[in-house]
Amino acid sequence: VRSIALVGACACDPLSSLPSGVGLTEPDVSIYLAEKEKETEEGGDSRGEGQGKAEANTNPIPCSIRIYHNIPTTTTTATATMMLWRKEGWRLGAAVGRALLPNQGQGWKKTSAALCSVVRGAASYAASYSTSSSSACHETFGLTEMQVEFREVARSFALNELAPHSAKWDETKHFPVDTLKQAAELGFGGIYCQEEYGGTGLGREDAAVIFEALAYGDISFTAYLTIHNMNCFVLDTFGTQQQKEKYLQRMTCMELLSSYCLTEPNSGSDAASLETSAVKQEDGSYVLNGAKAFISGAGTSDVYIVMARTDPGADKAKGITCFVVEKDQEGVSFGKPEKKLGWNSQPTCVVSFDDVVVPAENRVGEEGEGFKIAMMGLDGGRINIATCSVGGAAFALDSAREYTSSRKQFGKPLDKFQNTQFKLADCATSLAASRLMVRRAARALDAKIASATAECAMAKRFATDSCFDIANTCLQLHGGYGYLMDYPAERIVRDLRVHSILEGTNEIMRVIIAREMDRQKV
């Protein structure tokens, strides 16, 4: 793999100030920068889609392109980052686009032109955040250059599009569907799905970095996004070509929202004992009956990944099959939204199936593979929810540091007292350890090593418990103000509390770890 980098600056003349000898010919660079300048003049103040006309652009447009060329194949994956002109003046904006560009017979000229559409399709956001934040949430230790770039995009989105609205969404129980679709514009709707179906084609560690940065802005929002990504993974990995074309490519852009239906009113931790039935008919279709509980996004989501029992005579786990069910199918209904402690910016309901006819082409995988599919999805889901805990705890720690440095008691700031310093030090240590465990588990899942399931369970157990403790300590450091909704501390505690319950309780995580130890996979 070779990497070619271009860094240029253009004013009115796209070729002014371009460095020489960077690996692209002058006409190629002209095509890209001229297109980029035109795009900026037409609507560069937001997402490159003409949302308002920018002022005359007399300042340079710094941009950088990195092209990762996989020599043995016939495609190039291009990743572009840039800074865009805003009416208000220069503000750092990050945009990332990815696309597969044909190499054969195209040449650098068409490749360069194709980059324009890559960038045009990517969203750019003004990064009005402060880079002086001491939070380890944005720690770059051990990250690749591309991971740092994706993290910056996610962080900018979180601090501009999520954090300013998080408290209001929580208070009004608003499900921000439009904002989810904005996140999908950045490639966050199908982070580890194939690019052919609109995915970003990244790995689990990349996703962990992105989700941590997003959760720094809003835990509940990001948690739903991780569930949607898990559903995309199920179809990307086990779905048929028809299912990928009909559902997946509309899910990765979040035209279709999705929910994951495994848990039932009478089967929580013992998921293999689920009772929802799917009876096969003579024409190959299935009739579903049963109910699923605690379903995130239920009632709003368009498609549901449902685990149902197709063989009641088989051992518990072996008789389960996976299906795609659409919201508007006859017999699908939803209970009233649950009243919850946290995660209030996403709906949670019971989903009921009453003689729902599911066509044969909506079965995912083979009969009896449903439990395996569910567990493979949950390995990644456990990493995802753990990294949401890390992002939320990082924000809690930053908030506590800011508060204790400005709040004075007994004539000096709270952070000058040793008791406060020790609490902050313990929180920072636990946060760093949690992050490392999550990223280690993500690498294990990417590498498909034998201990990956145990690594995911360890990371989920440790990070969700530790990060909740961090958030609770940070609330305590706020004193009485931490208990008020005027400060974010109480909301973070409420949102993080459920993380030790869902995607398998932390008690079940211990069962999994012990089982894998017996199998000598740990």
Whole-number Å distance between alpha carbons of 394 and 4: 35
Helix, strand, coil fractions of the chain, as percent rounded to 5 = 50, 20, 35
Active site residue 503: yes
Q: Which two tokens stand for residue 89?
A: 């003046």
**Helix crossing, 219-238 with 489-497: angle to 10°?**
30
Q: How many CB atoms lie within 10 A of CB 239?
A: 24
Residues 6+ positions from 518 with CB-CB distance below 8 Å: none
CB 272 within 8 A of CB 371: yes
Question: Are residues 67 and 8 in contact, defined by beta-carbon separation less than 8 angstroms?
Answer: no
Q: Are 494 and 341 in contact (CB under 8 A)?
A: yes
Angstrom CA distances, 305 to 214, 324, 333, 359, 370, stand at: 24, 5, 15, 14, 10
- Rounded-to-integer distance, Cα 14 and Cα 33, Å: 6
How far apart (Å, rounded) are the C-alpha atoms in residues 244 and 377?
Answer: 17
Identify which of 136, 159, 209 has the alpha carbon closest to the alpha carbon of residue 393.
Answer: 136
Report the distance separating Cα 150 and Cα 55, nearest Å.
29
Q: In 3D, which of 96, 287, 353, 110 has the Cα closest to residue 202?
A: 96
Ramachandran assignment for 275, one of left (phi > 0), alpha (psi -120 to 50 degrees), beta (any other): alpha
Catalytic residue among 149, 161, 490, 503: 503
Beta bridge partners of 290: 353
Q: Please, where are the H alpha helices in 44-106?
A: none
- Catalytic residue set: 503
